[in-house]
Amino acid sequence: MLKKNNIGKRFLVVCCGPGKHQVLRTSLFCILMSLFAGGILLLFLGENPLVAYKSILQGAGILPKLRYAGKKSQFTDFMSLLNYTTPMIFAALSVAVALTCGIFNICVSGIMIFSGFIATILIGYTSLDPVLAKVLVVLIGVLCGSLMGVLIGYLKYRFNMNEVVVAIMLNYIINYVVSFFIQTKFIDPITRQSVSINPNARLTLFDFPAFGLKIEIALMIPVALAAVFAIRFLMTRTRFGFEMKAVGLNSTASRYAGMEVPKIIVSTMILSGALAGLAGVTFYLGSNASIQPRVLPALGFDAIAVALLGNLSAIGSMFASLLVVIFDCGTTYMSSRLGVLREIAALITSILLLFSAIGIFFRSLANRYAHEIEEN
């Protein structure tokens, strides 16, 4: 018989143990645990967690605020949320695709800067037709990201170089090279960032007049949704998706089974890089209009935890992206309304990302406890 002190083990097995929808149950468990941990932090600061979490939803546009400024409403807040979610979806898909094939693509941030910078200097400062400019920006993002993906994939299979080491070095190289050109050729002396791009090349329409409001329209959100369902179809319904998963589970066995492992690795990194490139142009030529030198976007690293929270699936990554961005956007309003320091508010988002990243640990621990319970 199990002792009473094993109630915790039983609870973990129920939440994350073997059975139907184990992966989904683990993700929900991680979310609830992060909310619980954040609630304890808020109680320690003398704040009501329910009020704080309600403020987060209000700040993100999920719930209405008490009042709004001119030409703003809950709808405008929600459209702004979609605008910030779009690059996160692309970045999370990039990480999920690579991890499915057993490749840890930690170069998403570097690829974002590279694609964003190339698109900025080639198209962002021109006076091209708005439709043509936006199409070219997207194509440049895909091309630049694919080139970086090819490089990482080729170095991995040809010279057996660890992709994490390669990606970290590329992050530094890209960051400093791009920063050098920005500070010597494209610097704005007032903002100390790159010169803002022309509106015709932006992938977000800001202050778009509609329904008596000024709305942010993320032009890439339909592309992001299309990418989600395309990646889902690729992973679940195609031979290439099956081969990606097989190589990710055991590359040696896949090679003996007749699969072209080098080709699969490179192809996977091309796809992952292209998605990261889309994240870059959507971020730097969408929600932002300039590039801050010597700063890697945190979004590229957050996408790792987001992809893990989404169980490396396309649909899961999309919903995980939305959840994380809700917390990221909503904590600003929570901070101003409740008087909580912005750093404390950001810490709540960090707690969510931390629990997301260790979901696999909870699942493996629950599997072990389930085995112990069966033996007893």
Distance of CA 306 to the CA centre of its chain: 6
- Predicted confidence band of residue 25 (pLDDT cuts 50, 70, 90): confident
Q: What pLDDT, on the 0 to 100 scale, is given for residue 10?
A: 83
For residue 21, the model assigns a pLDDT of 81
Helices first, then strands: H and E counts in the chain: 15, 2
Dist. CA 330–CA 311, nearest whole Å: 24
In tens, the pLDDT along 277-294 reads 999 999 999 989 899 998
Does the pLDDT at position 342 exceed 70?
A: yes
User: pLDDT at position 243, please?
Assistant: 94
Considering only residues 238 and 367, tell me which one the structure prediction assigns the higher pLDDT.
238
Q: Cα–Cα distance between 9 and 372 in angstroms, integer?
A: 10
- Give the C-alpha separation, 364 to 360, whole Å: 6
DSSP E strand boundaries for 188-306: 204-210, 213-218
Q: Which two tokens stand for residue 102?
A: 């057993």
**Residue 211 clears pLDDT 90, i.e. is over it:** no
Asked if pLDDT for residue 1 goes beyond 80, the answer is no
Measured CA to CA, the distance from residue 128 to residue 104 in angstroms comes to 38
User: Residue type at 199?
Assistant: P
pLDDT at 3 over 60: no
Report how far residue 340's alpha carbon sits from residue 337's, in angstroms, rounded to the nearest whole number: 8
pLDDT confidence of residue 5: 53
Structure tokens at 325: 């961005």
Q: Give the pLDDT score at 14.
A: 83
Return the bridge partners of 210, or none.
213
